[in-house]
């Protein structure tokens, strides 16, 4: 258990020193006399994924000459709605928001609409109100792709004779959140279609290693040696899964293990031979694109805003090519998540979340 305690400490340091400290200078929209001020309302800045997104937004605002305010909802819907009220009172020029509750945040989005403040969604996108655009991923496809590589690796391991009584663990996120639902469905749909004889055992890890540890331990107790593979909704829970295998007397090296996100623990487990593949999800680009959409909107460059049916391409960008689809609240840019680590890109690639975090930590130390 000590592994995720140290990781939690690292995240706290990044959140307090590398992120909050960097933005402490901008706390009031009135401080920017004739410039623009954008507010990012994070779902949970202590999550390293969200910390790196915020850094991408901060860097974009520096380039655009925009005042940047970062606010943390701490995974609390009431706090998030209060922050939206604060943004309206302050008169910010634009808001990017990662919803704590995709339905519960709708009154806040509608209040921003009534105030004439443009809104962009990212990661967990609200299911109501109006937005000029949103940035996310096709989470169903992310999980489907993870299931495809799992199947390929199982076929290779068992020479095409996968045990018919085999059990595949599906450690879900928090199923009240649409992302978790889509990833669970993408994974189970593929496995049920291609390997109908396998048993899928699903349980909610709730996006944290403690709960993931508990449910994985319970499933290992129930199914034991029948477990031949495990899919994890997101790598932020991987430490809990690894600890569950260790304490239960099983080895992750004996099963096929896939997840999503390329978190630091993912890279560690890949290097230890315990994680077979992670789907790479571009991270900082969500923050960068959020700020650019707001900037284009408020400066009258509406011809640059995304339109459903487009495919956005930027050479060298981790999120490119990105199709634009029609969402519930406006156009959604779906980042490219077609890369697998280590199959397609090495663990040292700079676009991986783990390596973006290392860069952020180094920057925090030097400031």
Into which CATH architecture does domain 139-279 fall?
Answer: 3-Layer(aba) Sandwich (3.40)
pLDDT, tens digit, for every residue of 299-338? 999 999 999 999 999 998 889 999 999 999 999 999 999 9
DSSP 3-state of 133 = strand
User: What pLDDT was estimated at residue 25?
Assistant: 33
Q: Domain spanning 2-137+283-335 has what CATH number?
A: 3.40.50.2300
Q: Can you read off the two tokens belonging to residue 206?
A: 């709730």
The full set of domain ranges for the chain reads 2-137+283-335, 139-279
Site of tokens 């030097």: 366
Is the pLDDT score of 10 beyond 50? no
pLDDT digits (tens, 9 = 90+) for 47-64: 888 999 999 999 999 999
| pLDDT 10s digits, 242-258 | 999 999 999 999 999 99
Measure the CA–CA gap between 316 and 179, rounded to whole angstroms: 27
pLDDT digit string, tens, across residues 138-153: 999 999 999 999 999 9
DSSP string, 14-76: IIIIIIIHHHTT---GGGSSSS-EEEEEES-TTSHHHHHHHHHHHHHHHHHT-EEEEEE-TT-
**pLDDT at residue 18 tops 80:** no
Q: What is the pLDDT of residue 34?
A: 53
Amino acid 6: pLDDT: 36
Q: Which residue has the higher pLDDT, 33 or 113?
A: 113
For 154-216, strand residue ranges (E) read 167-172, 199-204
| Fold agreement (2-137+283-335, 139-279) | yes
């Amino acid at each position: 258990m000590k592994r995720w305690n140290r990781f939690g400490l690292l995240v706290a340091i990044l959140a307090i020193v590398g992120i909050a400290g960097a933005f402490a200078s901008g706390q009031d929209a009135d401080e920017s006399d004739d410039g623009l001020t954008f507010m990012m309302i994070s779902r949970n800045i202590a999550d390293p994924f969200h910390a790196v997104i915020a850094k991408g937004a901060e860097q974009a605002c520096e380039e655009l000459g925009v005042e940047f305010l970062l606010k943390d909802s701490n995974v609390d819907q009431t706090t998030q709605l209060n922050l939206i009220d604060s943004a309206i009172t302050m008169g910010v020029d634009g808001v990017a928001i990662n919803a704590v509750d995709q339905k519960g945040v709708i009154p806040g989005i509608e209040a921003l609409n009534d105030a004439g403040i443009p809104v962009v969604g990212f990661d967990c996108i609200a299911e109501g109100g109006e937005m000029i655009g949103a940035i996310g991923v096709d989470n169903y496809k992310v999980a489907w792709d993870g299931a495809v590589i799992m199947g390929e690796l199982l076929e290779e391991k068992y020479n095409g004779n996968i045990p018919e009584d085999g059990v595949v663990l599906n450690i879900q996120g928090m199923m009240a959140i649409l992302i978790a639902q889509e990833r669970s469905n993408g994974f189970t749909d593929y496995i049920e279609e291609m390997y109908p004889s396998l048993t899928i055992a699903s349980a909610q890890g709730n996006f944290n290693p403690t709960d993931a540890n508990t449910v994985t331990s319970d499933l290992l107790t129930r199914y034991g040696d029948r477990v031949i593979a495990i899919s994890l909704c997101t790598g932020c829970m991987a430490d809990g899964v690894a600890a569950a295998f260790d304490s239960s007397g099983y080895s992750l090296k004996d099963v096929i293990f896939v997840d999503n996100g390329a978190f630091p623990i993912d890279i560690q487990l890949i290097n230890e031979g315990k994680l077979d593949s992670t789907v790479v999800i571009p991270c900082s680009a969500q923050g960068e694109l959020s700020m650019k959409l707001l900037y284009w909107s408020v400066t009258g460059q509406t011809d640059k805003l995304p339109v459903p049916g487009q495919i956005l391409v930027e050479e060298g960008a981790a999120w490119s090519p990105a199709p634009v689809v029609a969402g519930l609240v406006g156009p959604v840019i779906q980042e490219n998540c077609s890369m697998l680590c280590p199959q397609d890109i090495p663990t040292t690639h700079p676009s991986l979340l783990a390596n973006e975090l290392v860069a952020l930590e180094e920057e925090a130390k030097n400031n």
